[in-house]
Amino acid sequence: MEAVRLTTSSNFHLLNILVVRCFTSLKPLRRLSFPVSASAMESDASCNLVLCGKSSVETEIAKCLKNKNSLKLPDNTKVSLFLESEAKHLVKDDDSFNLLLFMNSIITHRFGRFLIWSPRLSSTHDVVSHNFSELPVGSVCVTDIQFKGRGRTKNVWESPKGCLMYSFTLEMEDGRVVPLIQYVVSLAVTEAVKDVCDKKGLLYIDVKIKWPNDLYLNGLKVGGILCTSTYRSKKFHVSVGVGLNVDNEQPTTCLNAVLKGMSPESTLLKREEILGAFFHKFEKFFDLFMDQGFKSLEELYYRTWLHSEQRVIVEEKVQDQVVQNVVTIQGLTSSGYLLAIGDDNQMYELHPDGNR
């Protein structure tokens, strides 16, 4: 069952709250990782953050932030800052995020060049959004374990090792296109996975986009995107969060499990490689998006999502009677919602409703 609602513009049919049932079968949405109790979250009143940069410029920023003790977290969490050279004691095992491997994979000009890493953190999104003005634009925060992850509807969960969890910053001026940035991010994630597979000579993993912000593989959710923004000094400060199941098979599946299923001898994907490839793809897509609009990416996006020509039933309540209309998804509207057409050629704009 898919729930959406329809709103209006001068070209769209007027409807109230409704329910949409997809004829195309999709698995129920499941969280990326495990729930955690509030008491467990509250018991973690401190965290360690490691700062590192791609070049001497970002390294100097790291030193400045550490010396000033500039980074803070909400809820009075105590923050301890370390430079990369001071952080060896925080690396507990080979499963820790490899800072050197990631930095060696980065070939961008803006995004991902300044990194914040923590072995265990409440939320990467809290780090970048709470310290947006202190960080260079394009900064990324990564953690190995996240115990207060955030979703679109304020869901909270714990993300285990093996999941690539990160948040990064960007600035935008045109508020009309800010809602579309989640589609650019989704596309960059799917293309990054393809890119890493190609470079490592691996079989193709077909990660798909489930509108508006989920990532699916073989009918199961393996990732999601969260974008939030604030408006200051005539610019939108956008914080982008991404979670991707790379090497944790629970609670659904992960990229490496699918790879091993296709070829047991396959080399496994690494979080650091995927993140480096992501920023390479995203920087290119973001520049295209800013210069030419989302139209420049639409064809690739439609090849990657799950919804082309999907038939859905729209139910609306009219004078205590439920009226059903069958519509076919055509693409996206200019504002980023689903564009559908009815059998009567009436156009519809479909909006998401909560988790569904």
Q: How far apart are alpha carbons 244 and 32 in whole angstroms?
A: 8
Is the previous residue joined to 352 through a cis bond, with omega within 30 degrees of 0?
A: no
Residue range 16-51, pLDDT digits in tens: 333 343 333 333 333 344 343 443 444 457 899 999
CB distance 247 to 255 below 8 Å: yes
Residue range 226-260, pLDDT digits in tens: 999 999 999 999 999 999 999 998 888 999 999 99
Q: What's the token pair of residue 61?
A: 């920023």
pLDDT at 154: 56
pLDDT at 283: 98
According to DSSP, the residues that pair with 52 across neighbouring strands are: 115
Q: Which residue has the tokens 């009143």?
A: 45
CB distance 20 to 325 below 8 Å: no
pTM: 0.86
Residue range 185-218, pLDDT digits in tens: 999 999 999 999 999 999 989 999 999 999 999 9
Q: How far apart are alpha carbons 205 and 198 in whole angstroms?
A: 10
Alpha-carbon distances, residue 162 vs 35, 159, 178, 231 (angstroms): 16, 9, 30, 34
Q: How far apart are alpha carbons 64 and 51 in whole angstroms?
A: 10
Q: Which amino acid is at 81?
A: L
Q: What's the token pair of residue 215?
A: 């990532």
Question: How much is the average pLDDT of 61-80?
Answer: 93
155, pLDDT greater than 80? no
Element (H, E) at 66: helix 56-68
